[in-house]
């Protein structure tokens, strides 16, 4: 038996013994996702156990070093673990911006003390993180941000407002871009800081969206004290870290366009809803659009696989995160447009009906944000044009 | 298998590119056209190519081949797409060889494969009978007469049909469809060749009481459809490789032009309207690269191929190369419309390959059927 075979067997046995049965189904709705943090209310004992067992094993962050709460797995082992989780349809034990967004730059740019302070808490799901990037007047032009941090010696006093903070009202800590040098060029006066959102002067205000939900807040900082030892990297060098983080964020969002475990193929949904004649979907025009979509979905999945293989082989093109973000989010919007069309008027119900799915309309509306958040599709195309194609301007 | 080329394959790619750039760049195709060459390719060049072993790539070693596989063949076809190098690589070295290796008797293998590997034999697939690809619609018939068959019917748009020494012909037999290897000089075979829009040639081929024996049968009697589907899938993957070469080449030429051409005092590539279209096209071409390497690896690994993946590949490559060539003409503006400039050759060749063995509509439908909807 090879090492990989024995690791597969070990992972399979462990998951068999430790993954509760109820955690072996796709999410039914958003409430099934476990976000952890100080105030998280677990939906069930199983959900709590699943997180705690995976965290104890280090498998909420399988490739992180063991000393930071990770599993210490190499790439091949992590892939096997993903396959084994996929095989039993296991839910993610933890959804976390700490893992997907803050983790990579903290690991790369943070001091040993900062890593030891924050990474294990992220790995165990004990602290839930929010992202403080966009401001009311700094969206696509993020580097023009104006949140002000005044140097008080051993700490900063921060004033200003952030917007589009995902789950800001449910988060414990924030990683945040602030302006520490107002005289410098816009990219050169930014610092990357972290603070506890329970600090005096921090408040959040939910933003109600077209979906009727409020997953985002505006976050206001009024004379908030931020310790200087909570700066990642050098003061005024935050833009480097900000961009590095955005790359990871874009990869995460872009990946949402690839076909996902547990979700039914769009063509299957259509065949169930509309029926087939002689094996051909009854609405032939819709069928063509579905086929185009499913082709592109497979293309994206294969290209993500190729990109991973190229990184392993050391021949990566690099800087493809913008392409994946663009392609993946546009694809995910198409998915929801097709699902809406397949369901016709059934998809238009909002509330007050029984036996009818009112979640689809909300998900469709939510999907419109995919190509805006984390940098709009237009910004991604700008980045591809300038950095991959070398076009001027 | 990782979706990357290994060292050896990368070397093959480099050497193919060097050879084609020096011996058969787009100007080679242009000079064949301008000298009114009625074969549409250079036999001299083809023998040079044969010496490098390209037509031997799919031929087993016992028949004088290299047994190098589909991934390697995909690499050289992609490079031929970049230079628009005309020749029998697709129809003979890829499709013809795959057909004989897959379904040929020992005797057929011995008779044909060494000749393919050496560059002497030239094959063509005569399957379509109507202008739009419909390989399962077969009216051509092969009536059984003792140990021989009499073939009657007409095939259209036979790529390389004007110079092939042997046709692979699909024909109705009593219990289904069968494939025959018909010599082009057999009595009753009439070849009407014509030039197509990319300066290549094709032929309509008529069969009038053409007599063949069961030695000419390729694969089992009445078992032709399954083999035909496989042969076509191999050819579709090959055409997709050429399309990928075309798409990349015109895209790179267009990006270069966007950096050089100035209007309003600045390079036109600084305009966001053009940047976004270029960036979108870049993304689509990246998708296509993944498909191509995957489809060739799959042909190497799975004896029956993967119809769904092939149709996805042919459809996506057809659409993307189409977008790349039409955007290339538009972004080059007036100069892109001139014969003197090469871009038009890519637009034309792309149109031919898009149509060959099923355009993107055909394969969209076939993809959906493979997924049972």
B272, B287, B311, B359: best to mutate for the A interface, most A CBs within 10 A = B287
Report pLDDT for A181: 96
Confirm whether B96 is domain-assigned: yes
Q: What is the CATH number of the domain that holds A362?
A: 1.20.140.10
Report pLDDT for B2: 93
Report pLDDT for A213: 86
Residue B97, class by beta-carbon neighbours within 10 Å (0-12 exposed, 13-18 middle, 19+ buried)? buried
A8: confidence class by pLDDT, cuts 50, 70, 90: very high
B229 and B324 part of one domain: yes
The Cα of A276 is separated from the nearest Cα of chain B by a number of Å equal to 7
A212: confidence class by pLDDT, cuts 50, 70, 90: confident
Residue where one domain finishes, among candidates B88, B121, B154 = B121
B151 and B166 part of one domain: yes
Q: Which run of H or of E encompasses A104?
A: helix A103-109
A193 pLDDT higher than 70? yes
Q: Tell me, what's the ipTM? A: 0.95
A329 pLDDT higher than 70? yes
A190 and A286 part of one domain: no
DSSP conformation class of B281: H
The Cα–Cα gap between A387 and A320 comes to: 10
Confirm whether A14 is domain-assigned: yes
Contact B373 A267 (CB under 8 A): yes
Contact A382 B259 (CB under 8 A): no
Confirm whether A245 is domain-assigned: no
Q: Which two tokens stand for residue B308?
A: 């769904």
The Cα of A284 is separated from the nearest Cα of chain B by a number of Å equal to 10
Question: What number is the average pLDDT over the span B137-161?
Answer: 96
Q: Which residue, chain included where needed, has tokens 């677990």?
A: A42
A3 pLDDT higher than 90? no
For residue range A259-309, list pLDDT tens digits in order: 454 578 999 999 999 999 999 999 999 999 999 999 999 999 999 999 989
**Mean pLDDT score of chain B, rounded to an integer?**
97
Report pLDDT for A175: 98
Confirm whether B340 is domain-assigned: yes
Report pLDDT for A257: 58
Question: What number is the average pLDDT over the span A298-325?
Answer: 87
Q: Which residue, chain included where needed, has tokens 């034990």?
A: A93
Residue where one domain finishes, among candidates B77, B103, B121 = B121
Question: What are A365's strand-pairing partners?
Answer: none
Confirm whether B231 is domain-assigned: yes
Confirm whether B1 is domain-assigned: no
A308 and A349 part of one domain: yes
A293 and A373 part of one domain: yes
Q: What is the CATH number of the domain that holds B267?
A: 1.20.140.10
What is the percent of chain B with per-residue pLDDT over 70, rounded to a whole number? 100
A250: confidence class by pLDDT, cuts 50, 70, 90: confident
What domain count does chain B have?
3
A384 and A274 part of one domain: yes
Q: What is the CATH number of the domain that holds B80?
A: 1.10.540.10
**Mean pLDDT score of chain A, rounded to an integer?**
92
CA proximity to B61, closest of B109, B128, B133, B95: B109
A70 and A136 part of one domain: no
Interface residues from chain B to A (CB-CB < 8 Å): 2-4, 255, 258-259, 266-267, 269-272, 274-276, 278-280, 282-283, 286-291, 293-294, 312, 315-316, 364-365, 367-369, 371-373
What domain count does chain A have?
3
**Taking CB atoms and an 8 Å cutoff, what residues of chain A touch B362?**
none
A371 and A265 part of one domain: yes
Contact A306 B272 (CB under 8 A): no
The Cα of A170 is separated from the nearest Cα of chain B by a number of Å equal to 37
For residue range A176-190, list pLDDT tens digits in order: 999 999 999 999 999
Report pLDDT for B93: 98
**Sequence-separated (6 or more) residues with CB below 8 Å from residue B349:** B81, B84, B198, B200, B242, B246
Alpha helices in B37-130 (DSSP H): 43-52, 70-83, 97-103, 106-118
**Taking CB atoms and an 8 Å cutoff, what residues of chain A touch B3?**
302, 305-306, 309-310
Report yes or no: A76 at the B interface, CB cutoff 8 Å.
no
For residue range B233-272, list pLDDT tens digits in order: 999 999 999 999 999 999 999 999 999 999 999 999 999 9
Question: What number is the average pLDDT over the span B18-43?
Answer: 95
B252 and B356 part of one domain: yes
Q: What is the CATH number of the domain that holds A225?
A: 2.40.110.10
Report yes or no: A272 at the B interface, CB cutoff 8 Å.
no
Residue where one domain finishes, among candidates B222, B255, B279 = B222
Confirm whether B21 is domain-assigned: yes
Report yes or no: A315 at the B interface, CB cutoff 8 Å.
yes
Q: Which run of H or of E encompasses A45?
A: helix A45-57
Please report the residues numbered 166 through 195 in chain A whose beta carbons come closer than 8 angstroms to any beta carbon of chain B.
Answer: none
B107 and B142 part of one domain: no
Residue where one domain finishes, among candidates A236, A269, A303 = A236
List Cβ<8 Å contacts ≥24 apart for B50-54: B50/B117, B50/B118, B50/B119, B52/B15, B52/B19, B54/B16, B54/B89, B54/B93
Report yes or no: A141 at the B interface, CB cutoff 8 Å.
no
Confirm whether B137 is domain-assigned: yes
Q: Do the strands A173-179 and A129-132 form a parallel or antiparallel pair, or are they unpaired?
A: parallel
A314 pLDDT higher than 90? no
B144 and B281 part of one domain: no
Q: Of A23-37, A120-134, B168-182, where does mean pLDDT reach its minimum?
A: A23-37
Residue A349, class by beta-carbon neighbours within 10 Å (0-12 exposed, 13-18 middle, 19+ buried)? middle
Q: Do the strands B201-213 and B189-195 form a parallel or antiparallel pair, or are they unpaired?
A: antiparallel
Beta strands in A19-88 (DSSP E): none
Question: What number is the average pLDDT over the span A20-32?
Answer: 89
Between the CA of residue B47 and those of A9, A202, B15, B118, what are the distances in Å? 54, 77, 17, 8
**Sequence-separated (6 or more) residues with CB below 8 Å from residue A5:** none
Question: What number is the average pLDDT over the span A127-152?
Answer: 95
B231 near B98, Cβ under 8 Å? yes
Rg (alpha carbons) of chain A, rounded to whole number: 22
**Taking CB atoms and an 8 Å cutoff, what residues of chain A touch B288?**
299
B142 and B216 part of one domain: yes
Q: Which structural domain, as residue segments, surrounds residue A273?
A: 258-388
Smallest CA–CA distance from A305 into chain B, residue: B3
Question: What number is the average pLDDT over the span A323-341?
Answer: 96
B237 and B337 part of one domain: yes
Confirm whether A124 is domain-assigned: no
Residue A146, class by beta-carbon neighbours within 10 Å (0-12 exposed, 13-18 middle, 19+ buried)? middle
Confirm whether A241 is domain-assigned: no
Q: Of A1-15, B59-73, B128-142, where does mean pLDDT reach its minimum?
A: A1-15
Confirm whether A160 is domain-assigned: yes
Report yes or no: A281 at the B interface, CB cutoff 8 Å.
yes
Question: What number is the average pLDDT over the span B177-204?
Answer: 96
B208 pLDDT higher than 90? yes
Question: What number is the average pLDDT over the span B216-231?
Answer: 97
Report pLDDT for A262: 52
The Cα–Cα gap between B59 and B56 comes to: 5
B124 near B164, Cβ under 8 Å? yes
The Cα–Cα gap between B125 and B94 comes to: 12
The Cα of B363 is separated from the nearest Cα of chain A by a number of Å equal to 10
3-state secondary structure A357-393: CCHHHHHHHHHCCCCCCCCCHHHHHHHHHHHHCCCCC
Report pLDDT for A258: 56
Report yes or no: A299 at the B interface, CB cutoff 8 Å.
yes
**Taking CB atoms and an 8 Å cutoff, what residues of chain B touch A319?**
none
CA proximity to A245, closest of A57, A104, A342: A104
Question: What number is the average pLDDT over the span A346-350?
Answer: 91
User: In this complex, which of B2, B266, B373 lies closest to A281 when CB atoms are compared?
Assistant: B373
Confirm whether A253 is domain-assigned: no
Question: What number is the average pLDDT over the span A363-369?
Answer: 93
CB–CB contacts below 8 A, A to B: 129
The Cα of B236 is separated from the nearest Cα of chain A by a number of Å equal to 16
A263 and A376 part of one domain: yes
Q: Do the strands B166-173 and B176-183 form a parallel or antiparallel pair, or are they unpaired?
A: antiparallel
Ranked by mean pLDDT, the top range of A5-9, A26-30, A356-360 is A5-9
B16 pLDDT higher than 70? yes
A211 pLDDT higher than 90? no
Report yes or no: A289 at the B interface, CB cutoff 8 Å.
no
**Taking CB atoms and an 8 Å cutoff, what residues of chain A touch B280?**
326, 381
B217 and B235 part of one domain: no
Question: What number is the average pLDDT over the span A239-268?
Answer: 77
The Cα–Cα gap between B202 and B206 comes to: 13
Report pLDDT for A352: 84
The Cα–Cα gap between A243 and A318 comes to: 14
Report pLDDT for B214: 92
The Cα of A278 is separated from the nearest Cα of chain B by a number of Å equal to 9
3-state secondary structure A259-304: CCCCCCCHHHHHHHHHCEECCEECCHHHHHHHHHHHHHHHHHHHHH
A142 and A83 part of one domain: no
Confirm whether A102 is domain-assigned: no
DSSP conformation class of A172: S
A207 and A289 part of one domain: no
B165 and B198 part of one domain: yes
Angle between helices B307-332 and B272-301 (to 10 degrees): 150
A45 and A144 part of one domain: no
Confirm whether B162 is domain-assigned: yes
Q: Which residue, chain included where needed, has tokens 């619609």?
A: B137
B201 near B195, Cβ under 8 Å? yes
Confidence (pTM):
0.89
Alpha helices in chain B (DSSP H): 7-23, 26-34, 43-52, 70-83, 97-103, 106-118, 224-260, 272-301, 307-332, 343-355, 360-370
Residue where one domain finishes, among candidates A73, A95, A117 = A95
Q: What is the CATH number of the domain that holds B195?
A: 2.40.110.10
Q: What is the CATH number of the domain that holds A85?
A: 1.10.540
B365 and B272 part of one domain: yes
A271 and A363 part of one domain: yes
Q: Which residue, chain included where needed, has tokens 């992609």?
A: B78
Confirm whether B2 is domain-assigned: no
B48 and B149 part of one domain: no
Q: Of A319-323, B100-104, B129-133, where does mean pLDDT reach its minimum?
A: A319-323
Confirm whether A330 is domain-assigned: yes
Q: Which structural domain, as residue segments, surrounds residue B165?
A: 125-222
Between the CA of residue A58 and those of A7, A93, A117, A372, what are the distances in Å? 15, 11, 17, 33
Contact B287 A296 (CB under 8 A): yes
For residue range B288-336, list pLDDT tens digits in order: 999 999 999 999 999 999 999 999 999 999 999 999 999 999 999 999 9
A27: confidence class by pLDDT, cuts 50, 70, 90: confident
A255: confidence class by pLDDT, cuts 50, 70, 90: low
The Cα–Cα gap between A342 and A196 comes to: 45
The Cα of A45 is separated from the nearest Cα of chain B by a number of Å equal to 40
B249 and B346 part of one domain: yes
Report pLDDT for A192: 98
A349 and A292 part of one domain: yes
The Cα–Cα gap between B218 and A94 comes to: 58
Q: Which run of H or of E encompasses A128?
A: none
Contact A309 B2 (CB under 8 A): yes
């Amino acid at each position: 038996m090879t090492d990989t075979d024995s690791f597969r067997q070990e992972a399979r046995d462990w998951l068999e013994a430790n993954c509760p049965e109820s955690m072996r189904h796709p999410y039914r709705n958003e409430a099934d996702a476990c976000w952890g943090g100080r105030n998280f209310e677990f939906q069930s004992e199983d959900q709590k156990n699943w997180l705690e067992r995976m965290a104890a094993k280090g498998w909420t962050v399988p490739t992180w070093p063991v000393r930071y709460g990770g599993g210490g797995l190499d790439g091949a082992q992590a892939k096997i673990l993903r396959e084994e989780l996929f095989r039993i349809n296991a839910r993610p034990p933890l959804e976390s911006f700490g893992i997907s967004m803050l983790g990579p730059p903290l690991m790369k740019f943070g001091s040993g003390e900062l890593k030891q302070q924050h990474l294990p808490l992220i790995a165990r799901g004990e602290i839930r993180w929010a992202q403080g990037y966009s401001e009311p007047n700094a969206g696509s032009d993020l580097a023009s941000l104006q949140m002000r941090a005044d140097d008080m010696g051993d700490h900063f006093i921060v004033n200003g407002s952030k917007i589009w903070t995902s789950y800001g009202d449910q988060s414990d800590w924030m990683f945040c871009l602030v302006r520490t040098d107002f005289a410098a060029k816009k990219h050169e006066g930014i610092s990357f800081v972290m603070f506890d959102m329970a600090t005096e002067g921090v408040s959040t205000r939910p933003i109600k969206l077209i979906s009727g939900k409020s997953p985002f807040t505006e976050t206001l900082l009024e004379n908030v004290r931020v310790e200087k030892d909570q700066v990642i990297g050098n003061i005024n060098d935050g833009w480097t870290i900000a961009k590095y983080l955005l790359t990871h964020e874009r990869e995460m969002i872009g990946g949402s366009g690839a076909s996902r475990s547990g979700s039914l193929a769009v063509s299957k949904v259509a065949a169930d809803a509309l029926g087939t004649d002689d094996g051909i979907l009854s609405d032939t025009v819709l069928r063509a659009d579905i086929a185009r979509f499913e082709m592109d979905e497979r293309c994206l999945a294969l290209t993500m696989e190729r990109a991973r293989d190229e990184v392993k082989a050391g021949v990566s093109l690099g800087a493809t995160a913008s392409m994946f973000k663009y392609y993946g989010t546009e694809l995910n919007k198409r998915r929801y447009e097709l699902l809406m069309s397949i369901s016709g008027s059934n998809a238009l119900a909002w509330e007050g009906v029984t036996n009818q799915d009112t979640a689809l309309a909300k998900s469709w509306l939510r999907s419109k944000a995919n190509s805006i958040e984390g940098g709009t599709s237009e910004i991604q195309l700008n980045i591809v044009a300038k950095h991959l194609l070398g076009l001027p301007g | 298998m990782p979706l990357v080329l290994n060292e050896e394959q990368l070397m093959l790619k480099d050497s193919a590119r060097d050879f084609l750039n020096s011996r058969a760049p787009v100007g080679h195709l242009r000079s064949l056209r301008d000298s009114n060459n009625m074969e549409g390719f250079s036999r001299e060049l083809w023998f040079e190519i044969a010496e490098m072993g390209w037509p031997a790539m799919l031929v087993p070693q016992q028949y004088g081949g290299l047994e190098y596989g589909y991934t390697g063949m995909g690499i050289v076809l992609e490079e031929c797409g970049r230079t628009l190098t005309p020749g029998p690589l697709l129809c003979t070295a890829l499709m013809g060889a795959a057909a004989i290796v897959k379904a040929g008797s020992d005797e057929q293998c011995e008779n044909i494969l060494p000749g393919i590997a050496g560059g002497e034999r030239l094959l063509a697939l005569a399957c379509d009978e109507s202008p739009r690809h419909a390989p399962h619609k077969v009216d051509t018939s092969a009536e059984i007469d003792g140990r021989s068959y009499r073939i009657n019917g007409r095939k259209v748009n036979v790529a390389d049909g004007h110079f092939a020494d042997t046709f692979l012909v699909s024909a109705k037999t009593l219990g289904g469809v069968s494939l025959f290897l018909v010599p082009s000089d057999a009595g009753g075979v009439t070849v009407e060749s014509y030039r197509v829009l990319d300066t290549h040639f094709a032929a309509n081929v008529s069969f009038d009481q053409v007599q063949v024996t069961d030695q000419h049968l390729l694969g089992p009697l009445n078992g032709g459809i399954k083999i035909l589907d496989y042969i076509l899938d191999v050819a579709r993957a090959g055409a997709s490789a050429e399309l990928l070469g075309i798409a990349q080449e015109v895209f790179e030429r267009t990006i270069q032009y966007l950096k050089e051409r100035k209007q309003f005092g600045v390079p036109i590539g600084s305009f966001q309207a053009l940047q976004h279209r270029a960036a979108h096209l870049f993304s689509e071409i990246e998708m296509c690269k993944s498909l191509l390497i995957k489809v060739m690896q799959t042909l190497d690994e799975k004896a029956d191929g993967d119809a769904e993946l092939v149709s996805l590949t042919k459809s996506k490559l057809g659409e993307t190369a189409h977008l790349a060539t039409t955007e290339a003409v538009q972004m080059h503006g007036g100069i892109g419309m001139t014969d003197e400039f090469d871009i038009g050759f890519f637009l034309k060749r792309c149109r031919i390959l898009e149509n060959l063995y099923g355009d993107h509509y055909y394969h969209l439908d076939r993809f959906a059927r493979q997924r049972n909807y």
